[in-house]
Amino acid sequence: MLQKSILEKKIKRVTLFGNPVKQSLSPLIHQYFSKETGVLYQYTLCLCTEENFFLKISNFFKNGGIGANITVPFKKKIFSVPHIINKFSRISKTVNTLIKCSNNKIIGDNTDGLGLLYDLKNLFIFKKNTTVLLLGAGGAATSVIYHLLMENCLIYISNRTLMKSKILIKQFKKFGKIFIFEEYKCSQIFDIIINATSSGLYGSYPIFPLSVLHHDIFCYDISYNKNGNLTPFLKLCKNYGVKNFSDGLGMLVAQAAYSFFAWFKIMPNIQSTIMFIRSLNEKLL
């Protein structure tokens, strides 16, 4: 039920729809954005099922919601809902941000790819033909492929369900070099591995040949642990001697900042927000 005070004060409302959502750092990130920019809004979480997802979204906008984020496992499912689809959503057929316009039309956008690039560019030096092993072929993987291809990356996809990798190759091959990762045929030495599976949410990591790990590789997990601990994927990489790695906190904050910009036309400070969240984790340890 909507709190009376919110309606009375007309505080703008934004919600994250997904399943699970309780692990999300997004409310903390948005509280920080709100303080830093002076934009008054409330960011809440909404746990949905496959059955009630569309109804919950529709009720939220009917009741005055001005924007939303969509997370696992609904980034593809939501694609049919918005009246207008922005470029990155159109290409990836995924949506992580909904924006309600003054004429009540809903715009669908995806800020994940921009968020990943922002963070990777801080942590890693792209070269021409950077070789990427991308683990996963769900909404998260799909959201970032176009941006990696625009950086001239060579992408090899490995996913538990092979058919989903094949669909992605078909969808993205017109934009650049993207292949199926086949362990026995691929003699490629990778510059970077990106874990874009949701396995971390369930305390595990995706299966991939550990022989691809080498001293100079950079391992990036697009997920993160709320308490700042290493994700299962990063723990594994570290145990196998990988020196350079990062969780996806930077990407999370950056994609949130681009969503915030889509709603309020102000860009919050990404670096200070990352530092704030990391400092909270340090206090917890």
Between residues 160 and 177, which has the closer beta carbon with respect to ligand ATR?
160
Contact (Cβ atoms closer than 8 angstroms) between residue 137 and residue 159: yes
Q: Which pair of structure tokens corresponds to residue 195?
A: 């874990």
Q: How far is the CB of 13 from ligand ATR (least distance, A)?
A: 23
Catalytic option among 75, 93, 174, 238: 75
Q: How far is the CB of 45 from ligand ATR (least distance, A)?
A: 16
Dist. CA 256–CA 114, nearest whole Å: 10
**At 96, which amino acid appears?**
N
Contact (Cβ atoms closer than 8 angstroms) between residue 17 and residue 48: yes
Q: How far is the CB of 73 from ligand ATR (least distance, A)?
A: 4
Between residues 37 and 204, which has the closer beta carbon with respect to ligand ATR?
204
Q: Is 75 a catalytic residue?
A: yes
Phi, psi of 179 (to 5 degrees): -135, 165
Binding site for ligand ATR (CB under 6 A): 72-73, 75, 136-141, 159-161, 164, 197-199, 204, 206
Between residues 67 and 73, which has the closer beta carbon with respect to ligand ATR?
73
Sheet containing 67-70, strands listed edge to edge, beginning at the edge strand earlier in sequence: 41-47, 12-18, 67-70, 97-100, 106-109, 84-85
Q: How far is the CB of 139 from ligand ATR (least distance, A)?
A: 3
By Cβ distance, which residue is nearest to ligand ATR?
A: 138
What is the total residue count of the chain? 285
| Catalytic positions, written as ranges | 75
